[in-house]
Structure 1
Amino acid sequence: MMHPCKFLCLSLTFTFILIPLVSARHCYYCDMTDDSNCMEKPVYCGKRENCFIARGLALGLPRVISKGCVHAIFCGRDHPIMYLGVTYNLTTYCCQGEFCNAGYPEDVQTPTDATIVAVFLAGLLLLLLMCWLL
């Protein structure tokens, strides 16, 4: 049987190793452009950022989109933005997950906690294996 102090130390070590893997994510980025010209480039987002796709609409004009990373407080908001001399109504759609903002805003999936649960379970199994081996 493992000493409780050693068990706590191992638990904290695995927690600090695995938490950054869950918190940070990769997203696609493209600057504001018309719908068909978005050249998606991979970017690394901060720990507290979500991936987003923003879609802009203006009466009688093709829609515009933008992609990247954003803080959660900006998710689901509409706001006016000026692009090529035209005011568009821009809506930001957010998601959580690796490269979840691929495609169009209609394709963005609702955030799930499946990744967090999977990493937690993997860490727990690894911890149990380490305890068994020690």
Structure 2
Amino acid sequence: MVLGLSFVHCWSLSQALTCAFCELTEATDCLECPIICQDEETCYTAKGMLLGVTVLQSKGCIGFPMCGRKETQTHFGNSYVLSYTCCQGKLCNGSPPQERLSPLILALVSAQLLGCM
């Protein structure tokens, strides 16, 4: 019986949505970590605009009614309009992965460097 309950618990956790999370911070300083959303939540990215430039952002889980909304918040004495954009899917609000060099390009660059030494 206990084994069955453990299986159900682990299965339900695996069905939970995982999103990227970072607190409201300067747009270039968002250090993401994964977070598991509650039921009735989805992933979001909020961008804070000042004079038409994105200067703040936050990411995480949010209730569906907040999707597409805009609100004014004060951060360090300045007022910003935060726009909430939502998505569904594992880490859909995360930063795109860094491009990796293909093994062929890496081998060619290495061969060129070794040939020059």
Higher share of residues assigned strand? 2
1:55 matched residue in structure 2: 47
1:68 matched residue in structure 2: 60
Provide the aligned length of Structure 1 versus Structure 2: 88
The answer as to 2:85 corresponding to 1:97 is no
2:57 partner SS: strand
Q: TM-score, normalised by structure 2?
A: 0.67
Give the root-mean-square deviation of aligned CA atoms: 2.3
Give every structure 1 segment of 4 or more consecutive aligned residues whose post-TM-superposition deviation is greater than 6 Å. Answer: none
Higher share of residues assigned helix? 1
Identity of aligned residues (%): 35
Q: 1:28 is matched by which residue type in structure 2?
A: A
1:7 matched residue in structure 2: none
2:31 partner SS: coil
Partners of 1:59 and 1:23 lie apart in 2 by 40
1:36 matched residue in structure 2: 28
